[in-house]
Amino acid sequence: MILMKDVYKTYANGVTALNGISIDIKQGEFVYVVGPSGAGKSTFIKLIYREEKPTDGTILINNKDLATLKEKKVPYLRREIGVVFQDFKLLPKLSVYENIAFALEVIGESPQKIRTRVMDVLELVGLKNKARFIPDELSGGEQQRVSIARAIVNRPKIVIADEPTGNLDPETSWEIMKTFEQINAQGTTLIMATHSREIVNSMKKRVIAIEDGLVVRDEYRGEYGYEI
């Protein structure tokens, strides 16, 4: 599903963010990515949805080698991967419905199918009654639910989330985590970078720890392992 072999990433400014990473993530896994700030977690995640390209090494996503993937095929890869960000990245002038429908409109789905799909994901995240609201009219937790709905509306095989609860209070974070668990329970591979020790320690999932651009720990039923 996601295979990295000896992956390096050095940015244009000379900073080496990843220093030889090899991992294998199978379909349906739930993986936490932990580590100090600046360790390389976001870079690791950006490589998976090809927001960044590796300097060296091999990355296979669903058996497709990203190195030889033609630019015009990148949108197809992105459809297999839903992304959730810490700061939601919703389009502020569009309604909740439109923010989610957008992902389907760009791939030319029929209006009927769009309507059914959008209402289905809104139901899943518990926001059916707020379809006409704009992001500013929602709480942070609700905005994150919208961004989760947007990420899954294409039914991607992989959902990746970069500190999705970073801007949310603990109670709201737990609600969001329950939604992610539900999505994973339906067979979607879930990869999440997080600084939340409480969440990682209570969920007992696979934990990959990255420090200074290297995988220093990779455990099933793992723990957060840091004091802060």
Closer residue to ligand ADP in complex, CB, 138/171: 138
Minimal distance, residue 65 CB to ligand ADP, in Å: 19
By the 8 A CB rule, do 57 and 7 touch? yes
- The tokens for 188 are 């979607």
Q: Cα–Cα distance between 40 and 95 in angstroms, integer?
A: 34
Closer residue to ligand ADP in complex, CB, 67/107: 107
Minimal distance, residue 53 CB to ligand ADP, in Å: 12
Angle at 74 between CA 15 and CA 77, to 5 degrees: 100
What does the binding site for ligand ADP look like in residue numbers (CB under 6 A)? 11, 13, 15, 17, 35, 37-43, 49, 78, 81-83, 85, 89, 150-151
Closer residue to ligand ADP in complex, CB, 49/180: 49
Minimal distance, residue 79 CB to ligand ADP, in Å: 8
Listed in order, strand segments (DSSP E) in the chain are 2-10, 16-25, 30-34, 56-61, 64-65, 81-85, 158-162, 189-193, 206-211, 214-219
Closer residue to ligand ADP in complex, CB, 42/143: 42
Minimal distance, residue 110 CB to ligand ADP, in Å: 21
The three-class DSSP label of residue 84 is strand
